[in-house]
């Protein structure tokens, strides 16, 4: 099949979270399965500077209609792997920035234009390069206009650009909500600015467009597919999601075993496998050293790697300060984002720097070391569409402590509830429930045999992308 993906993140060219990992791994798996895969990404500074893009070919000059103006850009392409082409939609004014969505304090003011331009650039490429896609697959709000723009361009130019469109919701909490005046920049027919179109409480909602107009809608776990149709998790789009209830499927993400695999992970100081766990101890020693903690510490190390947002339950960890200050344990946190959460975590670390550490930055290598060197991985999310870190934890022999929501509930089972099969500890997304799970983690850690059994079970689980990719292939080839 000829498969086109469009997303605002793609590992290793731009990453702020799991979207990059998921799109990178899925498109790689599809290419390895013999499909002709094209992935479109904005031409960010980091992507253009990546070594893979060094020889990128200038493929097209773009003149994109944005309201009553034409905006110039260009398309560059390179091929990092057999059957895979990466197209960069470039315009310096929009994408020559170090971060994709904002400056850390707030989102960029021109985000609507940036991503409308991106989607239109993809459509122009489909038309002018004549890709003849079997499927155009758009991810999250930044690419959500694509299904609609593809059909609009087909109508205007009397051509077929894609047989089928798919929209994947990685996180319904981010919707691309913008002032109604920006609707004009889509150049879509006026009748699409209404309650059955992009209009949402007198604004435009790009994700709503993806949900309504793609032929198929997916989310990244079966449980989240149900959750988004409820007021508790739908972030105001639950009613819209319900209108597509027949077409929404939840396909679980996987783990890219070429990147997240302790047996070959080049970012670790030592490698290990279920049969030989010695390397995990070396990773633990390195982690203690990097955090400036005593090297001979023998108690449990709790790791956390997360974007600092409401979603990730950082405040539930903070609410359990007494546990982390009062227990003979270590807490290692890697995360950046919301300033108030970051300051609060920094203050906690400052109270006990010999046992609590915060690295407030993006650091790919540290994220691998924390997965490998910790005994427990904290992920008490309020909601979690899929979550990758709890799967990475299991693969790295680190027991995840997760809340029972979304993809976390689909990928972890509790060792106390399921003594014969459990691989983690589960709680409700509340401080009290997390406290109870933390208590149980101490008991598990103290029982070395039980801990090792749960650890080995996690490492034996198959989270490979092969299964997930099959689900998408089936969806792509299903007749409508």
In sequence order, the 6+-apart residues with CB closer than 8 A to the CB of 218 are: 166, 167, 168, 169, 225, 248, 249, 250, 251, 472, 475
Helices (H), 158-291: 206-213, 222-227, 238-242, 278-290
Smaller CB distance to ligand ADP: residue 162 or 372?
372
Secondary structure element (H or E) that encloses residue 195, with its range: none
**Cα–Cα distance, 372 to 396 (Å, whole number):** 5
Smaller CB distance to ligand ADP: residue 327 or 389?
389
Size of the site for ligand GLC (CB under 6 A): 14
In sequence order, the 6+-apart residues with CB closer than 8 A to the CB of 385 are: 169, 170, 171, 172, 219, 220, 221, 224, 406, 407
Out of 335, 387, 422, 429, which residue is the one contacting ligand GLC (CB under 6 A)? Answer: 387
Binding partner at 367 among ligand GLC, ligand ADP, none, C-beta below 5 to 8 Å by kind: ligand ADP
What are the DSSP calls for 427-446, one per residue?
A: E-SSHHHHHHHHHHHHHHHH
Binding partner at 220 among ligand GLC, ligand ADP, none, C-beta below 5 to 8 Å by kind: ligand GLC
Smaller CB distance to ligand GLC: residue 11 or 293?
11
Interface segment toward ligand GLC; rule CB under 6 A; list 197-205, 225-233, 244-252, 382-390:
382-390
Restricting to residues 228-267, which ones interact with ligand GLC according to CB under 6 A?
Answer: 253
Closest contact distance (angstroms) between CB of 385 and ligand ADP is 7
Asked if residue 177 lies in contact with residue 205, where contact means CB atoms within 8 angstroms, the answer is yes
**Cα–Cα distance, 80 to 10 (Å, whole number):** 12
How crowded is the C-beta side of 349, counted as CA atoms within 13 Å? 18
Instruction: Write out the residues near ligand ADP by the rule CB under 6 A.
Output: 17-19, 21, 305-307, 334-336, 362-364, 367, 386-389
Closest contact distance (angstroms) between CB of 9 and ligand GLC is 9
**Cα–Cα distance, 213 to 165 (Å, whole number):** 9
Closest contact distance (angstroms) between CB of 286 and ligand ADP is 17
Q: How far is CA 36 from the centre of its chain?
A: 23
The contact pattern for ligand GLC, residues 400-439, with x = CB under 6 A and - = no contact, is -------x--------------------------------
Out of 384, 434, 441, 457, which residue is the one contacting ligand GLC (CB under 6 A)? Answer: 384
The contact pattern for ligand GLC, residues 139-178, with x = CB under 6 A and - = no contact, is -------------------------------xx-------
Secondary structure element (H or E) that encloses residue 320, with its range: none
Smaller CB distance to ligand ADP: residue 217 or 220?
220
Secondary structure element (H or E) that encloses residue 337, with its range: strand 330-337
Binding partner at 362 among ligand GLC, ligand ADP, none, C-beta below 5 to 8 Å by kind: ligand ADP
Smaller CB distance to ligand GLC: residue 107 or 432?
107
Binding partner at 363 among ligand ADP, ligand GLC, none, C-beta below 5 to 8 Å by kind: ligand ADP
The contact pattern for ligand GLC, residues 5-44, with x = CB under 6 A and - = no contact, is ------------xxx--x----------------------
* 69-81 vs 57-66, strand pairing mode: antiparallel
Binding partner at 336 among ligand ADP, ligand GLC, none, C-beta below 5 to 8 Å by kind: ligand ADP
Which burial class, exposed, middle or buried, applies to 127 when counting CB atoms under 10 A from its CB (0-12, 13-18, 19+)? middle
The single-letter DSSP state of residue 404 is S
Out of 116, 153, 162, 220, which residue is the one contacting ligand GLC (CB under 6 A)? Answer: 220
Q: Residue 46 corresponds to which tokens in the numbers above?
A: 């980091």
Closest contact distance (angstroms) between CB of 471 and ligand GLC is 13
**H/E/C letters for each residue in 284-319?**
HHHHHHHCCCCCCCCCCEEEEEEEECHHHCHHHHHH
Out of 337, 385, 400, 422, which residue is the one contacting ligand GLC (CB under 6 A)? Answer: 385
User: What is the number of the residue whose Cβ is closest to ligand GLC?
Assistant: 18
The single-letter DSSP state of residue 281 is H
Q: Residue 61 corresponds to which tokens in the numbers above?
A: 């000059």
Closest contact distance (angstroms) between CB of 389 and ligand ADP is 4
Asked if residue 74 lies in contact with residue 58, where contact means CB atoms within 8 angstroms, the answer is yes
Closest CA to 100 of 23, 7, 184, 175: 7
Cα–Cα distances (Å) from 273 to 65, 280, 459, in that order, read 54, 9, 8
Binding partner at 334 among ligand GLC, ligand ADP, none, C-beta below 5 to 8 Å by kind: ligand ADP
Smaller CB distance to ligand GLC: residue 22 or 64?
22
Residues that bind ligand GLC (CB under 6 A): 17-19, 22, 170-171, 220, 253, 384-388, 407
């Amino acid at each position: 099949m000829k498969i086109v993906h469009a997303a605002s993140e793609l590992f290793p060219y731009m990453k702020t979270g799991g979207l990059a990992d998921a799109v990178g791994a899925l498109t790689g798996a599809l290419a390895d399965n013999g499909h002709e895969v094209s992935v479109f990404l904005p031409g960010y500074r980091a992507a253009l500077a990546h070594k893979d893009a060094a020889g990128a070919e200038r493929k097209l000059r773009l003149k994109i209609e944005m309201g009553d103006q034409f905006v110039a850009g260009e398309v560059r392409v390179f091929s990092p792997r057999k059957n895979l082409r990466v197209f960069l939609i470039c315009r310096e004014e929009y994408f020559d920035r170090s971060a994709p969505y904002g400056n850390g304090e707030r989102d960029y003011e021109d985000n609507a234009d940036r991503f409308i331009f991106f989607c239109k650039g993809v459509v122009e490429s489909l038309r002018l390069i004549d890709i003849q896609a079997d499927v155009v697959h758009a991810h999250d709000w930044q690419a959500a206009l694509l299904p609609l723009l593809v059909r609009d361009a087909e109508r205007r130019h009397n051509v077929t650009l894609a047989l089928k469109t798919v929209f994947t919701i990685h996180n319904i909490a981010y919707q691309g909500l913008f002032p109604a005046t920006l609707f004009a920049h889509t150049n879509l027919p006026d009748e699409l600015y209404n309650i059955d179109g992009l209009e949402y409480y007198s604004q435009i909602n790009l994700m709503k467009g993806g949900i309504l107009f793609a032929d198929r809608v997916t989310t990244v776990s079966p449980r989240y597919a149900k959750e988004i149709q409820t007021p508790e998790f739908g972030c105001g789009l639950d009613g819209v999601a319900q209108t597509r209830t027949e077409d929404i499927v939840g396909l679980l993400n996987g783990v890219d075993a070429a990147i997240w695999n302790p047996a070959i992970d080049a970012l670790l100081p030592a490698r290990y496998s279920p049969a030989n766990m010695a390397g995990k101890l070396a990773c633990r020693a390195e982690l203690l050293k990097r955090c400036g903690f005593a090297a001979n510490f023998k108690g449990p190390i709790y790791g956390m790697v997360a974007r600092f947002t409401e979603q990730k339950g950082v405040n539930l960890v903070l609410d359990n300060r007494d546990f982390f200050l009062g227990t003979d344990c270590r807490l290692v946190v890697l995360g950046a984002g919301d300033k108030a959460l970051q300051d609060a975590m920094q203050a906690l670390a400052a109270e006990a720097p010999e046992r609590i550490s915060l690295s407030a930055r993006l650091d790919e290598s540290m994220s691998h070391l924390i997965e490998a060197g910790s005994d427990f991985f904290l992920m008490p999310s309020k909601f979690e569409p899929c979550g990758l870190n709890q799967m990475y934890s299991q693969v790295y022999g680190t027991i995840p402590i997760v809340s029972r929501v979304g993809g976390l509930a689909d990928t972890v089972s509790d060792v106390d509830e399921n003594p014969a099969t459990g691989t983690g500890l589960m709680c409700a997304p509340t401080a009290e429930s997390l406290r109870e799970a933390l208590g149980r983690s101490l008991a598990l850690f103290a029982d070395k045999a039980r801990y090792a059994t749960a650890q080995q079970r996690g490492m034996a689980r198959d989270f490979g992308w092969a299964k997930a990719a099959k689900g998408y292939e089936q969806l792509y080839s299903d007749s409508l």
